[in-house]
Amino acid sequence: MARIPKYTPVGSIPGASGPFPRATSSQFGGAQGQSLETAGARLSDWAYRESVDKLEKEAQIYANKEVSRLRAHYADRANVLRRSTDGDIAGILDGEMKADIELSSNNAPSSVAQNKVAVGLTSMLGTVRTRAIVSDHEFRDKRLIQSDESAFNNDLSTAYNTPSQLNVLLQGTKQRINNLNIDPVTKAELLQQRIFSLGESALRGRIEMSEASAKEVLSELENPDNDEQFAAVLKQTDKDKLIRHATATIRTHQAEKRLLAQ
């Protein structure tokens, strides 16, 4: 075991002599040095935390600013595209948004800001994309409805001028209406209305084609054996009107003949 040397102060204290332990660091300010070292470490930690907090705040400010700017931009952009584009806009917005995410990330002042802006924009633009897809579906449905209405008006004219095409027109009408995104009850009601309208237009066209054709239609309408057949394409009120119209048309033709015979 190591032996610790002793020393004896001489003449320092009258009447006192004997061994004393060696001097320690605390007798020469060692404790103060440790305190300074601890304080320095704490100061360094505080400065680091302040630096991290500042970086975090700056990153969040940048991310918030970019998200706010692009949210306003794409809200307006979607409206512009909807007015100027005859088709879906989700795909167009998707390409533009990916480019903006990359640009905002590249312009970020730090890697922290880069991560924050990427996460913020991806979330925000995901919402924009979802709304655009929903809008595309709604716009597509509206186009189908408008297309169906336009086609139906053409079908009415065709049914009148070419009554023999009635069955073909009815099949086309059924197919278009089945493709419409409307509730089943409304779809069934609309289909029935279209069928009755086309049936009425085709029979009216036959009546007004000639006196012989008018007589033929009148005979068919008044025959009880045909009631079920006509009920599928003609409302009873329209059937009654067409019977009166056929009768009046035949009388008109006969009156014209009598006038010409005079």
Q: In whole angstroms, give the CA distance from residue 156 to residue 148.
A: 12
Q: In whole angstroms, give the CA distance from residue 217 to residue 207.
A: 6
| Backbone φ and ψ of 7, nearest 5° | -135, 155
Dihedral, 156, 160, 165, 166 alpha carbons, nearest 10: 60
* Predicted local confidence at residue 85, as pLDDT: 79
- The structure tokens listed for 15 are 């009447």
Is 186 within 8 Å of 192 (Cβ atoms)? Answer: no
Burial class (CB in 10 A: 0-12, 13-18, 19+), 5: exposed
- The structure tokens listed for 95 are 């390409």
pLDDT in tens, 141-192: 778 888 888 899 999 999 999 999 999 999 999 999 998 888 899 899 999 9
Is 177 within 8 Å of 148 (Cβ atoms)? Answer: yes
If you average pLDDT over every residue of the chain, what do you get? 82
pLDDT in tens, 96-117: 888 988 888 888 888 888 888 8
Burial class (CB in 10 A: 0-12, 13-18, 19+), 136: middle
